[in-house]
Amino acid sequence: MALTPNDVADLARLARIELTPDELAHLAPQLDAILEAVAKVSEVAADDIPPTSHPLPLDNVQRADVVRPSLPREAVLAGAPAAEEDRFRVPRILGEDA
């Protein structure tokens, strides 16, 4: 399937990971090898075997609509890199070009 450095650049952009051209060239063949290995599964899986999305043969695991206590706010915000007015403070969302 030959994953190109351009494909990897697209994925990196979607994952918000900054990669140099050297890194892209280095990673593309490695990721390609992984994909090829995984693709072997489709060689043995016949059409009547649905893709597995969950390892346990369960469905309809549901909870009753009952309110349970939430975390204390101090505990909630203690994990935040920055907080202000009892809210999580995050950096500017849209860049200059947005």
Does position 40 interact with another protein (CB under 8 A)? The reply is: no
In the block, tokens 């990669």 appear at: 19
Size of the site for another protein (CB under 8 A): 36
When binding is defined by CB under 8 A, the residue of 1, 37, 46, 98 that contacts another protein is: 98
When binding is defined by CB under 8 A, the residue of 40, 43, 81, 91 that contacts another protein is: 91
In the block, tokens 């935040």 appear at: 80
- Enumerate the β-bridge partners of residue 84: 87
Closest separation between CB of residue 16 and another protein, Å?
Answer: 6
Closest separation between CB of residue 71 and another protein, Å?
Answer: 5
Per-position b or e across 20-44, b if 16+ CB within 10 A of its CB: eeeebeebbeeebeeeeeeeeeeee
Site residues (vs another protein, CB under 8 A): 14, 16, 53-54, 56, 58-71, 73, 76-77, 79, 84-94, 97-98
